[in-house]
């Protein structure tokens, strides 16, 4: 039986929706009888998550000074350029970093 009242928000808290999604895909109803198409549900969740993340990003960006944002952008661009110009050097550095990290994580204890 489908209720005729106004629809509630599809996802009350977009950052805590995984349990909600699991429940939704077990059943085609939402909040006590509202029938919801799964494609519409996914589209609405994506929209709400995007809006929420956009607001968090703007809050964080407002706390970072412009000079530091510019320095971070320049560093990112320099790293991207280096990787594009020297792909094998980048692969080698990533491999070495992986070995060093693995060595620290899986260091054998001397018995």
pTM: 0.41
CB atoms within 10 A of CB 10: 21
Residue 36 burial (10 A CB sphere; 0-12, 13-18, 19+): middle
Question: How many residues in the chain?
Answer: 111
Instruction: Label residue 2 by pLDDT band (50, 70, 90).
Output: very low
pLDDT digits (tens, 9 = 90+) for 34-81: 566 788 888 888 999 999 999 888 888 888 888 998 999 999 999 999
CB atoms within 10 A of CB 48: 18
User: If you average pLDDT over every residue of the chain, what do you get?
Assistant: 77
Q: What is each CA distance from 25 to 11, 33, 49, 85, 89, in whole angstroms? A: 14, 14, 18, 46, 46
């Amino acid at each position: 039986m489908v209720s005729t009242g106004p629809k509630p928000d599809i996802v009350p808290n977009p950052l805590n929706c995984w349990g909600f999604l699991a429940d939704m895909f077990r059943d085609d109803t939402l909040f006590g009888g509202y029938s919801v198409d799964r494609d519409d549900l996914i589209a609405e969740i994506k929209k709400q998550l995007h809006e929420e993340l956009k607001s968090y990003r703007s809050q964080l960006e407002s706390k970072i000074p412009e000079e530091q944002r510019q320095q971070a952008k320049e560093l990112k661009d320099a790293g991207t350029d280096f990787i594009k110009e020297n792909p094998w050097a980048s692969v080698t550095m990533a491999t070495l970093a992986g070995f060093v990290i693995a060595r620290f994580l899986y260091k054998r204890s001397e018995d």
